[in-house]
Amino acid sequence: MRLARPSLLRQTSSRLLLPLFFSLALTAPLLASAAKSASATGEPGSFISTPPDMTYFAVQGDTLSAISKRYTNKALNWHIIGKRNKIDDDRAIPIGTAILIPLELLPEEDSEARVIAMTGTPQFKAADGKSGVLTLGAVIREGTQITTDKNGFLTLALADESRVSIPSNSQVSLAKLRKTKYTGSPRTEINLLQGKVESRVSSLVSNKGRFEVRTNLAVAGVRGTNFRVGVNDDGIANEVLEGGVAVSNTNVKKPDELVLTSGKGNIISATGVGKPVDLLPPPQLSDSYLLQERPTLQFQVETNASAAGYHVQIAKDKEILDVLAENRFKENRFKFDGFADGNYFVRFTAIDKAGLEGLPLVKAVTLKARPEPPFTVQPKNKLRAESLDFAWTEAGNALAYHLQMARDAEFKNLVVDKTDLKEVQFSTTRPADGTYYWRVATIAQKDGKADHGPFSDVQKFVVLPVTSLALPGDGDGNQLSFSWASEPGQKFLIQISMDADFKNIYLSKDLDQAELKITRPAAGQYFIRVRSTDPDGYVSPFTATQKITLRPRWTSSDGTPINSSGGAVGTNF
């Protein structure tokens, strides 16, 4: 069935000399409602809304011209009313007769819009010349022009609960903001001068209202739908999310109409109406992004080869009316800063190469990034020590810290789980050789209760054999030799000191081998330690200090030791 455009919209479009026109086609339920009104009953003098008419119940002495004058302000409209009711002349009407008055004949009165959500500093200029910055809850009248900057966003609620969202870098004018007298049927006309506007229009079938978005090339008239209109370099971009929009080019004598149904879009240019194309599907996002534990919100959607960019909006509500931030990105990775902990809704759309914005993906996202975790200090990467020492930075608002160490990165097999550490360090015995993971969280106070923050980034480390010194050997009597376990590629630093604090160093030497031979020093006490460096640069702590005592020994005149069957005479070393 061919769908006809409403005649009044055709007249309005012609009057403004707009070369292109599109509207949502009327549907069968609208025609059915007229049939029902004919059988309606009511008290004389009352009226009810029965779209596409208002039904009035006649009182004594009523004539068609009197009814027409009273409700349409024009007595001559009785001819139209008579035709609608199949009454040929302006005669007296029996009391209680149901008279259909087309809603299009009713006079209009002023309506208004209200700012229900905003971010940034959107500007306004009223019809009377007043201008300034809009505020939440502000009432907007007909003729007001609204401008949003690069960080601005605004959502208006109309009298019929329709919503108009004006994103950043946009400019619109509320050219017409009215409603019909008696029935309150909305009559809204928005001029889009720059940027984009998204409309969620309450069903106008029940009240035969009218909602139009106009540009310099086209006019969109709807009967209840969710659609976007944007001005870009190629013309006017139209994107239908719900409902349908009929598009035609009035520059030709016999314009062909095409209907943009849900999920379709097109470009209207000065040369004609583009063919309908499928809007890009909603982007795909992993559920791992639904809980964010760092102050910077970060997302990455799956790559779409057909996408030239992406549009991301963050709002307080699922309908994305109260938008807090938005941006357009060329790549499929997105970052946003400046959000407090809480629950948000994020809408993602892909933008095709023609500039048409696709179908949305809306996800509920929770941000729990505070209290922020401390920075981890140690251990890092490897451990070659007798004890395991953890350390982290101090958080200014911390009451305590929660430390965990596990054998797996998912922390299912816990080895250490300390939930109330007051210091920024913790020591425990050295675990068995192997791979381990650790993390730490801050516990603060919020509203009189403990507030457990997210854990730090997971740190991985490997526990390796401890570097340990063997007992020194006596060599040939004039030398001492030291050795220790080693791994391929390791280098070493060995130190011998006259004191346990290693302030009076007797020897400090870098080695490529796990062995040291030195000329036997003078009798006395010595302290020895060694430190290894792995091929990857990891430097182990020094081994536990060993103490040796060298006693005086008997030597011959040439300095060689005097030996007995038990070894050198006069010393243990």
Query: Rounded to an integer, what distance in angstroms lies between the CA atom of residue 326 and that of residue 235?
Result: 23
The fold for domain 376-463 equals: Immunoglobulin-like (2.60.40)
Give domain 287-367's CATH architecture.
Sandwich (2.60)
Structurally, what CATH architecture does the domain formed by 108-278 represent?
Answer: Sandwich (2.60)
The tens digit of pLDDT for each residue in 260-312 reads 899 999 998 877 888 999 999 999 999 999 999 999 999 999 999 999 999 99
Mean pLDDT calculated for residue range 84-95: 92
pLDDT over 80 at 132, yes or no:
yes
Per the model's pLDDT, the better-predicted residue between 538 and 154 turns out to be: 154
Return d(Cα 508, Cα 343) in angstroms, integer: 60
State yes or no: cis peptide before 281, omega within 30 of 0: no
Q: What is the pLDDT of residue 255?
A: 55
- Three-state SS for 48? strand
β-strands 186-194, 210-214 pairing: parallel
Whether 39 has a pLDDT exceeding 90, the answer reads no
Residues of the chain with CATH 2.60.120.1440: 108-278
pLDDT by residue (tens digit) across 163-189? 999 999 999 999 999 999 999 989 999
Q: pLDDT tens-digit profile of 386-431?
A: 899 999 999 989 999 999 999 999 999 999 999 999 999 999 999 9
With 60 as the cut, is the pLDDT of residue 43 above it? yes
E-strand ranges in 195-338 read 196-200, 210-214, 219-222, 226-232, 235-242, 244-249, 258-261, 264-269, 272-273, 277-278, 291-292, 297-300, 307-315, 323-329, 333-336
Q: At what angle do helices 64-72 and 78-85 cross, to 10 degrees?
A: 120
Q: What does the pLDDT read at residue 30? A: 34
Contact 480, 496 (CB under 8 A): no
pLDDT digits (tens, 9 = 90+) for 339-381: 999 999 999 999 999 999 999 999 999 999 999 999 999 998 8
Domain with CATH 2.60.40.10 in the chain: 287-367, 376-463, 479-568
Least confident of 15-24, 53-62, 181-190: 15-24
The pLDDT, as a whole number, for residue 8 is 32
State the pLDDT at residue 490: 93
> How does residue 480 score in pLDDT terms, banded at 50, 70 and 90?
confident
Backbone CA torsion sign across 381, 385, 387, 393 = negative
Q: Which of 230, 123, 140 has the alpha carbon at shortest distance from 177?
A: 140
Domain 479-568 homologous superfamily, CATH: Immunoglobulins (2.60.40.10)
Rounded CA separation 205/51 (Å): 7
Q: Specify the pLDDT at position 235.
A: 85
Give the pLDDT score at 218.
75
| Overall average pLDDT of the 522-534 stretch | 92
| CATH code of the domain occupying 27-105 | 3.10.350
pLDDT at 153: 94
And the tokens for 248? 């035609």
Percent of the chain's residues with pLDDT above 90: 66
Q: What's the mean pLDDT when you consider all of the chain?
A: 86
Angle, CA 115 vertex, CA 109 and CA 116 arms, to 5°: 120
Question: What pLDDT score does 567 carry?
Answer: 46
By the 8 A CB rule, do 507 and 528 touch? no
Tokens of 352: 């095709």
Of 48, 42, 40, 45, which is closest to residue 70 (Cα–Cα)? 45
> So what's the pLDDT on residue 557?
52
pLDDT band at residue 26 under the 50/70/90 scheme: very low
Q: How confident is the model at residue 22 (pLDDT cuts 50, 70, 90)?
A: very low
